[in-house]
Amino acid sequence: MGKVLELDRVYKAYKFGFIPKKKQVLKGISFYVNEGEIFGYLGPNGAGKTTTIKSILNLIFPDAGRITIFGEDSLKPRAREKVGFLPENPYFYDYLTGREFLAFYADLLGIHGRQKEEKIKYFLNLVGMEKAADLQLRKYSRGMLQRVGLAQALLNDPALVILDEPMGGLDPIGRKEFRDIIVNLKKEGKTVFLSSHILQDIEMICDRVAIILAGEIVNQGYLGDLISEKVLYTEVIVAGLPASEFSHLGESVSTSGNRVLLKVYEEEHIDRIIRLVQEKNGKIISLIPRTETLEDIFVDLVKNQ
């Protein structure tokens, strides 16, 4: 498996204000993306995710470091020939209709004639926008812009698709559809670079992740290696008994009506709770073991920072 994208110690500082004040945004970012994988780039707002992506796409110039796309220096336009990009909150020429918009990008990419018509039709269909194709973009909702933006990113049949917060602004159904499209891209053999702070999405579809905090990569690797299968605690919901009955067995998190939610850390306490509930004629509503999630790792990292 070859490396599709590689960043080697990339630094970037922005200067702000009349008397320029330097702010270091990227502090030596290094990671790589393998061919054919979905790579998740995680980080809180302002961590440097979008700056990294802009550096990859040559929209900003890193102060130091090297970025290669398919082995080609990212500074050359040729490196972006096989790249598709969907920016965060995509902004497009709002006086164009969806169809004209895609036609404009097709022209830019040198796709003409029948091939252009077919591609536009195919991608409008793929992102579920064929009905709104002849509407001006200014009349689109954010989710619709996101969809037509994805179509634009896929027009040149890219081998690497870079998506910056693609699921933001989408409703739950839209998010699922986007996830399906992304997984399908992987099936077609494309590599997907996905930046997000919506951890569930990343956890569901990504193969590998890198976590960026305040301009530094703090953790990266295969999702399976990062997340342990160990049970952290068990969530037990009990009905018909007061929380005080369990105070020595687990932490009562919340009560609602006659139900109590308990967090139980030790396994032998679970058996004792079950026995206690049976003795006192209560009822166990649910019992769910919680393993570590990406969110736990993420929250831990942010706290330690």
**68 binds another protein per the rule CB under 8 A:** no
Select 95 or 122, whichever has its Cβ closest to another protein: 95
How is 229-245 classified by DSSP, letter by letter?
A: --EEEEEEEEESS-GGG
Sheet containing strand 231-239, edge to edge, reads: 251-256, 259-264, 231-239, 283-291
| Token digits of residue 172 | 């739950």
Measured N-to-C along each axis, helices 142-154 and 113-126 cross at an angle, to the nearest 10 degrees, of 140
Calculate ∠ Cα 226-232-233, nearest 5°: 155
> Is 93:104 a contact under the CB 8 Å cutoff?
yes
**64 binds another protein per the rule CB under 8 A:** no
> What is the identity of the amino acid at 274?
I
- Minimum distance, C-beta of residue 105 to another protein, in the bound complex (Å): 7
> What is the identity of the amino acid at 2?
G
- Minimum distance, C-beta of residue 83 to another protein, in the bound complex (Å): 7
- Minimum distance, C-beta of residue 54 to another protein, in the bound complex (Å): 7
**87 binds another protein per the rule CB under 8 A:** yes
Select 113 or 257, whichever has its Cβ closest to another protein: 113
DSSP symbol at 97: B
d(CA 290, CA 302): 21
d(CA 35, CA 40): 14
Per-residue contact track with another protein, 162 to 201, x per CB under 8 A? x---------------------------------------
- Minimum distance, C-beta of residue 248 to another protein, in the bound complex (Å): 56
State the DSSP H helix or E strand holding residue 178, giving kind and residue range, or none if neither.
helix 172-187
- Minimum distance, C-beta of residue 277 to another protein, in the bound complex (Å): 57
d(CA 69, CA 73): 6
- Minimum distance, C-beta of residue 138 to another protein, in the bound complex (Å): 11
- Minimum distance, C-beta of residue 110 to another protein, in the bound complex (Å): 7
**Secondary structure (3-state) at 52:** helix
Q: Which of 60, 227, 301, 302 binds another protein (CB under 8 A)?
A: 60
Count of residues that interact with another protein, criterion CB under 8 A: 34
Q: Which of 95, 122, 222, 265 binds another protein (CB under 8 A)?
A: 95
**93 binds another protein per the rule CB under 8 A:** yes
d(CA 268, CA 241): 20
d(CA 86, CA 154): 9
**40 binds another protein per the rule CB under 8 A:** no
Q: Which of 17, 45, 77, 281 binds another protein (CB under 8 A)?
A: 77
Per-residue contact track with another protein, 104 to 143, x per CB under 8 A? xx-xxxx---------------------------------
Residue numbers at the binding site for another protein (CB under 8 A):
14, 54, 57-61, 77-81, 83, 85-87, 89-93, 95-96, 104-105, 107-110, 149, 152-153, 156, 162
